[in-house]
């Protein structure tokens, strides 16, 4: 969170997030939730360790319920490429889009960008 604040102060942050079920994804989600203005949840397709979207979405809804912070929208997309498109669709030139949570997610998004 501090790194994002240091490098992108006062900029809207859209986060595309997917994680492996055997990682500390809840801690990652909580930290990102504190900084993001928009959170787009997805699951990568090329690895069976991917955490299902419904589990991620449920955890994010719990953060909303317990934190009550207004302003961070939570969305989901079935595929990483759809999540990336969703992130780009509403981003301005000054916004930051961060795809994070797993190298598996990054690889699938990079393949889309290189196509």
Instruction: Say if CB 41 and CB 74 are below 8 A apart.
Output: yes
pLDDT (mean) for 53-57: 95
According to the model, what pLDDT value does residue 103 have?
A: 93
Residue with the bigger pLDDT between 111 and 67: it is 111
pLDDT greater than 90 at residue 34: no
According to the model, what pLDDT value does residue 68 have?
A: 64
pLDDT (mean) for 5-27: 92
> For 78-105, what is each residue's pLDDT tens digit?
999 999 999 999 899 889 999 999 999 9
According to the model, what pLDDT value does residue 114 have?
A: 86
According to the model, what pLDDT value does residue 71 have?
A: 63
């Amino acid at each position: 969170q501090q790194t994002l604040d240091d490098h992108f102060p006062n900029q809207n942050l859209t986060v595309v997030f997917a994680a492996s079920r055997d990682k500390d994804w809840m801690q990652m989600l909580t930290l990102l939730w504190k900084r993001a203005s928009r959170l787009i949840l997805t699951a990568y397709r090329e690895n069976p360790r991917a955490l299902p979207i419904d589990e991620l979405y449920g955890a994010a809804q719990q953060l909303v319920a317990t934190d009550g912070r207004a302003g961070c929208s939570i969305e989901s997309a079935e595929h990483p490429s759809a999540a990336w498109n969703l992130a780009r669709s509403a981003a301005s030139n000054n916004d930051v889009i961060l795809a994070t949570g797993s190298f598996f997610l990054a690889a699938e998004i990079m393949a889309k960008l290189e196509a």
